[in-house]
């Protein structure tokens, strides 16, 4: 990657003025660029001047202690913050060089391009088939039933769920196990063929085996989609991501290649966090 | 045993006693309320069930061709049908000559008997010239005797029937001419001054039509209002807050106020005809709407937000999110709220008094714009009448009202069962 802004702070206090992110947040060919992003919940500021590029077909992990703003940042990327009362987003976020907060940007279209998987598996109380088919249906992606069947099958295959559910597509989705439900949610998200998939702690409600399956899945999905994953597990971040961004109290402290962040953190706060001193 | 455990154990028995005591309070409360309910229902049924049976008398009427030809409705309206019935009563009891006793004899049958005769003749014009046995409604006092409300052992001065009348009735009974039959008149007739002819058809239809109007208006309006307020209206907006407060207040407004409003707006302003189910339904809609809105909003609030996020997250618009995912999940709760509101509207009397649905109406309404009463109003009217027959009918009308309510609730439960997602 390009020039690295190395700047070691004398004080680890993130609240200090003139804070700048350690590591290079720019990319040569970004999919999403975020510049000077500030987010407010009412009077309370949740994110301070975030600058970050997200590349094509990479997995970037957002880590940091609870309440550090990583989920808030994630929700900025597909404007899910819009539905939160009193939430205000400032700054410039571009997807393929389009301002996603521009007036002419339809959040419906944006969310079709930037899909989201949530912390708790949240399948619709419908059949497995209808869950996956819902997105293509509302967007009119399938001309007929055969095409829709194909989309459902492909999506479930990509989510690694096809073999388990192909004989019971008409069964209720809520009857699946937690891990299967989460993979179904991933299938539902990729059924509309998004460019970016946001994942908000997708494994936090799952057991280790289901988690491993999902992590493997994320690795496979990387070939097609840009994935931004928020996680509390540093092992997970290390396993699935190529780049890692460390958030602390609403600020982006450090960003860089995952291997470098975990082996050689440059900011003391990052070091404290990944060595388990707090968080 | 360490100190902490000792302290815990010492309080354990007391805690358990408390729990058991509380459970018993609950059981007693349920038992008491059930007992009162049972008492209420048994007393109403005990008082009212006899109204579903009615004494009828068989009389042998000579269908006099002189009086009855031609057998057209116009001619029969002028014919002396009552005279024919009186003649047959005189023939049955030839020993009666005294004028007063004759009048008492004629009162054995209801004043509806000539109409029954008319209907018979119209249905069987070929029988004119023959003597036929006709079952006609008995008079109110005969009905009381047959149902055992008049004790022949009592001194004659204290009962409604004289000794000779009782003798006639015993004779009729021995001949099998005095029987209790299912009282279809109670279900088919409108109101009447004579208890034996009074029925609930007008009130029943009035209530049914009003419920249809109320449901057709308050359910969609209430749901639309609730969806807008809950899903689309901006939060922390002065106007929205004001509307919310006012809806909550409206739910607590005494119902008679809605009656005044209905009188002023629907009858006074729009000029709709008074005493009609349409106006009644509109008025009850005003009354029901706040309840439906509040219940529907609660149902919408109870839908987990994760469903909304899921739909929004794959690019559903807000309207799609609401109509595809939130509304189906909230529907059972909304229905429950609507039924609670409807049940309240069904039992409402006060606003209906204000819009003139308290009138004495004999002919069942054929449309929403014909005058009618409502079941609770009919109950109120009959409860005012001292005659034994009306006392009985009051309770019978209450039974009908409760059945109406029960059927409505049953329909709601079945509908909810169908809508409820079990997964």
Of A86, A111, A175, the CB nearest to B314: A111
Structure tokens at B13: 């028995």
Strands (E), chain A: 30-41, 44-55, 59-63, 87-95, 98-99, 114-117, 196-200, 226-230, 243-248, 251-257
Closest Cα in chain B, distance from residue A12 (Å)? 36
- In chain A, what residues touch B306 (CB-CB under 8 Å)? 118, 120, 122
CB pairs under 8 A between A and B: 72
Distance (Å, whole) CA A64 – CA A72: 12
Report pLDDT digits (tens) over B372-406.
Answer: 999 999 999 999 888 888 888 999 999 999 999 99
Give the pLDDT confidence score for residue B1 in this predicted structure: 64
Of B316, B320, B421, the CB nearest to A125: B421
Give the pLDDT confidence score for residue A12 in this predicted structure: 44
> Contact at 8 Å (CB) between B240 and B408?
no
The pLDDT of residue A15 is above 90: no
Return the half-sphere exposure (C-beta side, CA atoms, 13 A cut-off) of residue B190.
15
Q: In a 3-state reduction of DSSP, which class is residue B237?
A: coil
CB within 8 Å of A46: residues ≥ 6 apart: A39, A40, A69, A72, A250
The pLDDT of residue B40 is above 60: yes
The pLDDT of residue A42 is above 90: no
> Contact at 8 Å (CB) between A188 and A165?
no
Give the pLDDT confidence score for residue B197 in this predicted structure: 87
**Percent of residues, chain B, with pLDDT higher than 70:** 99
Task: State whether B423 and A78 contact (CB < 8 Å).
Answer: no
Give the pLDDT confidence score for residue A18 in this predicted structure: 55
Write down the pTM of the prediction.
Answer: 0.83
The pLDDT of residue A10 is above 50: no
Closest Cα in chain B, distance from residue A140 (Å)? 12
CB within 8 Å of B328: residues ≥ 6 apart: B419, B421
Mean pLDDT to the nearest integer, A175-204: 91
- In chain A, what residues touch B311 (CB-CB under 8 Å)? 124, 134
Mean pLDDT to the nearest integer, B53-74: 87
Q: Determine how many CB atoms are found less than 10 A away from the CB of residue B170.
A: 13
The pLDDT of residue B423 is above 80: no
- In chain A, what residues touch B309 (CB-CB under 8 Å)? 80, 116, 118, 122
Give the pLDDT confidence score for residue B71 in this predicted structure: 82
What value, to the nearest 5°, has the Cα angle with vertex B60 and ends B57 and B65? 135
Q: Residue A36 — φ and ψ, nearest 5°?
A: 50, 50
- In chain B, what residues touch A182 (CB-CB under 8 Å)? none
A contact set with B (CB within 8 A): 78, 80, 83, 85-86, 108-112, 115-118, 120, 122-125, 134-135, 138-139, 172-175, 185, 188-189, 191-192
Shortest CA distance from B235: residue in chain A: A85
Reported ipTM: 0.84
The pLDDT of residue B338 is above 70: yes
The pLDDT of residue A123 is above 90: yes
Shortest CA distance from A109: residue in chain B: B315
- In chain B, what residues touch A134 (CB-CB under 8 Å)? 311, 314, 316, 324
Distance (Å, whole) CA B168 – CA B287: 54
Shortest CA distance from B422: residue in chain A: A125
Helix, strand, coil share of chain A (percent; to 5): 35, 25, 40
Mean pLDDT to the nearest integer, B124-148: 88
- In chain A, what residues touch B308 (CB-CB under 8 Å)? 83
Task: State whether A192 and B329 contact (CB < 8 Å).
Answer: no
The pLDDT of residue A7 is above 50: no
Q: How high does pLDDT run on average in chain A?
A: 86
- Separation in Å, CA B4 to CA A153, B11, B12, B190: 60, 11, 12, 77
Give the pLDDT confidence score for residue B412 in this predicted structure: 87
The pLDDT of residue B238 is above 70: yes
Residue with token string 């992990």: A61
Report pLDDT digits (tens) over B387-396.
Answer: 888 888 999 9
Q: What is the DSSP letter of A264?
A: S
Closest Cα in chain A, distance from residue B409 (Å)? 26
Q: In a 3-state reduction of DSSP, which class is residue A227?
A: strand
Shortest CA distance from B306: residue in chain A: A122
Task: State whether A86 and B236 contact (CB < 8 Å).
Answer: yes
Of B235, B304, B309, the CB nearest to A85: B235
Of A80, A173, A185, the CB nearest to B312: A80
Between residues B159 and B332, the one the model is more confident about: B332
The pLDDT of residue B55 is above 60: yes
């Amino acid at each position: 990657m390009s020039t690295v802004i190395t700047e070691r702070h004398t004080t680890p206090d993130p609240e200090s003025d003139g804070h700048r992110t350690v590591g290079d947040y720019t990319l040569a060919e970004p999919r999403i660029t975020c510049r000077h992003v500030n987010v407010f919940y009412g009077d309370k500021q949740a994110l301070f001047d975030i600058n970050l590029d997200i590349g094509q077909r990479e997995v970037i992990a957002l880590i940091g202690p609870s309440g550090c703003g990583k989920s808030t940042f994630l929700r900025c990327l597909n404007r899910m913050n819009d539905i939160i009362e009193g939430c205000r987003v400032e700054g410039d976020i571009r997807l393929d060089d389009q301002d996603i907060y521009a007036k002419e940007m339809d959040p419906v279209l944006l969310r079709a391009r930037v899909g989201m998987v949530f912390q708790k598996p949240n399948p619709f109380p419908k059949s497995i088939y209808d869950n996956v088919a819902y997105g293509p249906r509302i967007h009119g992606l399938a001309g007929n039933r055969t095409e829709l069947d194909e989309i459902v099958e492909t999506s479930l295959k990509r989510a690694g769920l096809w073999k388990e559910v192909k004989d019971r597509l008409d069964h209720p989705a809520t009857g699946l196990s937690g891990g299967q439900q989460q993979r179904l949610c991933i299938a539902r998200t990729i059924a509309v063929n998004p460019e970016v998939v946001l994942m908000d702690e997708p494994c936090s409600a799952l057991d280790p085996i289901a988690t491993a399956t999902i992590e493997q899945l994320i690795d496979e999905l990387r070939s097609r989609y840009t994935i931004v994953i928020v996680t509390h597990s540093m092992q997970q971040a290390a396993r699935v991501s190529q780049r890692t961004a460390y958030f602390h109290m609403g600020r982006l402290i450090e960003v860089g290649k995952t291997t470098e962040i975990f082996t050689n953190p440059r900011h003391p706060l990052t070091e404290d966090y990944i060595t388990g001193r707090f968080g | 045993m360490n100190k902490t455990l000792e302290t815990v154990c010492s309080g354990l028995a007391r805690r358990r006693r408390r729990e058991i005591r509380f459970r018993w309070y609950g059981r007693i409360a349920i038992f008491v309320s059930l007992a009162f309910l049972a008492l209420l229902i048994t007393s109403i049924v005990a008082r009212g069930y006899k109204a579903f049976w009615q004494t009828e008398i068989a009389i042998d009427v000579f269908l006099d061709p002189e009086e009855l030809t031609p057998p057209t409705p116009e001619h029969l309206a002028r014919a002396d049908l009552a005279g024919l019935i009186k003649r047959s009563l005189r023939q049955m009891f030839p020993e009666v000559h005294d004028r007063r006793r004759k009048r008492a004899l004629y009162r054995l049958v209801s004043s509806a008997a000539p109409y029954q005769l008319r209907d018979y003749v119209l249905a069987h014009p070929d029988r004119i010239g023959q003597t036929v046995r006709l079952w006609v409604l008995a008079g109110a006092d005969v009905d009381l005797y047959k149902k055992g409300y008049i004790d022949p052992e009592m001194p004659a001065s204290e009962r409604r029937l004289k000794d000779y009348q009782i003798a006639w009735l015993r004779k009729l009974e021995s001949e099998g001419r005095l029987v209790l039959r299912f009282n279809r008149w109670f279900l088919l007739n409108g109101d009447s001054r004579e208890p034996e002819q009074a029925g609930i058809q007008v009130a029943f239809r009035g209530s049914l039509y009003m419920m249809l109007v109320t449901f057709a208006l308050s359910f969609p309006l209430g749901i639309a209002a609730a969806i807008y307020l809950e899903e689309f209206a901006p939060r922390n907006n002065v106007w929205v807050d004001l509307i919310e407060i006012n809806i909550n207040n409206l739910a607590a407004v005494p119902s008679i106020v809605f009656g005044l409003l209905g009188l002023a707006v629907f009858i006074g302003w729009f000029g709709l005809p008074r005493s009609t189910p349409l106006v009644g339904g509109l008025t009850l809609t005003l009354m029901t709407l706040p309840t439906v809105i509040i219940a529907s909003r609660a149902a919408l609030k109870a839908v987990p937000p994760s469903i909304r996020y899921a739909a929004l997250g794959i690019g559903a618009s807000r309207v799609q999110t609401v109509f595809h995912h939130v509304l189906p999940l909230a529907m059972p709760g909304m229905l429950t709220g609507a039924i609670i509101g409807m049940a309240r509207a069904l039992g409402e009397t006060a606003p209906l008094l204000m819009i003139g649905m308290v009138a004495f109406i004999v002919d069942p309404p054929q449309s929403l714009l014909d005058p009618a009463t409502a079941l609770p109003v009919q109950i109120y009217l009959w409860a005012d009448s001292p005659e034994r027959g009306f006392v009985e009918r009051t309770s019978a009308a209450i039974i009908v009202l409760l059945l109406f309510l029960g059927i409505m609730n049953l329909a709601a439960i079945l509908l909810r069962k169908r809508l409820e997602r079990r997964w």
